[in-house]
Amino acid sequence: MERIECIKRTISEKKISIAGIRRLLALIPCWEIKGCEDDIKYSCPAYVDYERPCWLHKASLKGDCATNECRECPVYNSIKSCDELKELLKRYIEKSAI
């Protein structure tokens, strides 16, 4: 419910569309969270086409990402609130800038 409330607040207060929220979710660095090896990461369609969330690549994903249900994904389940998502993206952006 907290995620739905976060999305609702983002749409109404920040004036970000559903497409914008989808893009934000696509930025979640799952390869960092899961600790994917470089060869797996660089061949992953969700990494290569980072503007689209991984669930739009479902047919071409490999490994556990291909076989697991998206709603059971440990990456998305690890983010329980907007604050956690903001912090994760902030850490990733800071790490990428180095």
Buried b (16+ CB within 10 A) or exposed e, 13-46: eeeeeeeebeeeebebbbbebeebeeeebeebbb
How many Å apart are CA 70 and CA 2, to the nearest integer? Answer: 18
- Residue 9, pLDDT above cutoff 70: yes
Write out pLDDT tens, residues 51-72.
Answer: 777 888 888 888 888 888 877 8
Handedness of CA 24, 26, 31, 33 (dihedral sign): positive
- Residue 98, pLDDT above cutoff 70: no
Cβ atoms of 85 and 79 within 8 Å: the answer is yes
- The C-alpha angle 56, 59, 62, rounded to 5 degrees, equals 105
